[in-house]
Amino acid sequence: MDIHENYRRFYYFFRDISGLVHSCTRVDEILELVVWKSSIELQAKGALVSIIDTKTNHVDLFASHGIGEKYLSKGPLSRKDIIKDLCRLNKAVVIEDLASDPRVDFPQELMEDGVVMLLDIPLNLRDDLIGMIRLCFTDKRKFTPEELEFVVAVAEQFSCALDKARLIEEKQSQYDQLAMQTEKLSALGRMAAGIAHEINNPLAGILLFSSNTLKKAPEEGPIKQALEVIIREAQRCKSIIQDLLEFSRDRQLEKVMAGMNKAVEKALSILGNEVRLRRISVEKNLAPGLPEIPLDLNLMQQVFVNLFMNAIEAIGQNGVITIQSRTSPDGRKQRIEVSDTGCGIPEENLSRIFDPFFSTKSNGTGLGLAVTYGIVQKHGGNIQVFSKVGQGTRFLIEIPVQQG
């Protein structure tokens, strides 16, 4: 075969293999394709591929084609040190003396299968994917330096395709987990709504009966104290049920043109007495003349009530809550920041605080921030949290001025 015919064959091999490997999205498909196509195009008896996971430092992927079972049954056929040395060298290596070369394990089984020469090709991709393709030949071949460089270039295509397939599988796994979690939450929301409705009626009766009885109870004595405890705890149950209903309800927003500052002021007026009792100062830096935007004013007010209540509970006594409002530099969003000088949130909990039913409070439901997150998302906005233990917490809300 003349040199031109040889290069043309390699060109078509490169073109075909590139198209094939990049059309696959599963890791096992690509590995099978690598060993099969390499064996055919390079006219080898067979091939095997081994991949090291650099995080675990183990050979975690393997595939073969055309290799005898007697050899394959011997166990791990590519040692980690051999693969790593080959990848550091980053060039194809021909092994002709199977019996004495230290890179060959179980040479007797290979030679009994008719193998007389090996070609090892590195698989390199950044720092997180290294491996090796080993081709087995039943006759001695002479590869030119250009041909060896070419097979390394083809191996790079394999590496890229394998990395892409790994990423796709990882994202698919994450998506499947997210879909499962979403379905669980949906079922839980429906169940919670049903339970809440069932509990609401008897709870309303308890509140009504205990409130009426309290009016008739003696001013002094254990009866009045007991009734006050009943009323207080029943009202707490009512608040929890209301949060459950709000969380499970998927109602449409009732938007009107309104100002974010107005929602902040309304929320502060609701909690004004609580703030004064705990000797907490509120510092407002609300941008004057902030334009009105489409808001469900009642729900946005609920967002700030939830954030202010969290801040009050985090501070306890004698602290500062700072509220700032402004328009983003590009004019597309309005931003509200709520900061406190409270106890802060541990770093390991920051990624979970918006999860439904996650709470570090002894009497918390874990629904307040989940509801807050949902309301902000429904407005097309986003909410972020920044916190350090002992230094306080800052929530940043961004709502787009123009909403779809």
85 and 60 in a common domain: yes
151 and 85 in a common domain: yes
Per DSSP, the residues of 270-312 read HHHHHHHHTT-EEEEEEPTTPPPEEE-HHHHHHHHHHHHHHHH
User: Which CATH number goes with the domain that contains 330?
Assistant: 3.30.565.10
pLDDT number for residue 185: 65
229 and 95 in a common domain: no
Nearest-5° Cα angle at 66, 61 to 69: 75
Q: Which amino acid is at 134?
A: R
65 and 194 in a common domain: no
Q: Which domain holds residue 396?
A: 256-400
Give the residue from 165, 194, 222 where a domain finishes: 165
pLDDT number for residue 394: 92
Is-contact 246 371, C-beta < 8 A?
yes
65 and 108 in a common domain: yes
Q: Average pLDDT of each block of 10 consecutive residues along the chain (404 residues)?
A: 57 65 72 80 85 70 79 72 81 89 87 89 72 89 83 79 78 79 69 72 83 82 82 78 62 80 87 85 88 86 88 89 90 90 86 73 66 86 90 91 72
Query: Domains in the chain: how many in total?
Result: 3
pLDDT number for residue 320: 92
User: Which CATH number goes with the domain that contains 220?
Assistant: 1.10.287
- Give the whole-angstrom CA distance, residue 306 versus residue 372: 7
Q: Helices 222-248 and 368-378, interaxial angle, to 10°? A: 30
265 and 387 in a common domain: yes
Is-contact 34 21, C-beta < 8 A?
yes
pLDDT number for residue 1: 45
Please give the model's pTM, rounded to 2 decimal places: 0.45
Tokens for 136, please give them.
């087995």
Give the residue from 248, 279, 307 where a domain finishes: 248
φ/ψ of residue 107, rounded to 5? -65, -30
Give the residue from 108, 139, 165 where a domain finishes: 165
290 and 241 in a common domain: no
Cβ neighbours of 298 (radius 10 Å): 14
Q: How far is CA 344 from CA 84, 373, 389, in A?
A: 46, 19, 4
12 and 67 in a common domain: yes
122 and 85 in a common domain: yes
275 and 242 in a common domain: no
- As to burial, measured by CB atoms within 10 angstroms (0-12 exposed, 13-18 middle, 19+ buried), residue 130 is buried
User: Which CATH number goes with the domain that contains 47?
Assistant: 3.30.450.40
370 and 240 in a common domain: no
Instruction: Return the SS3 of 91.
Output: coil
217 and 144 in a common domain: no
Nearest alpha-carbon partner for 373 in 316, 307, 294:
307
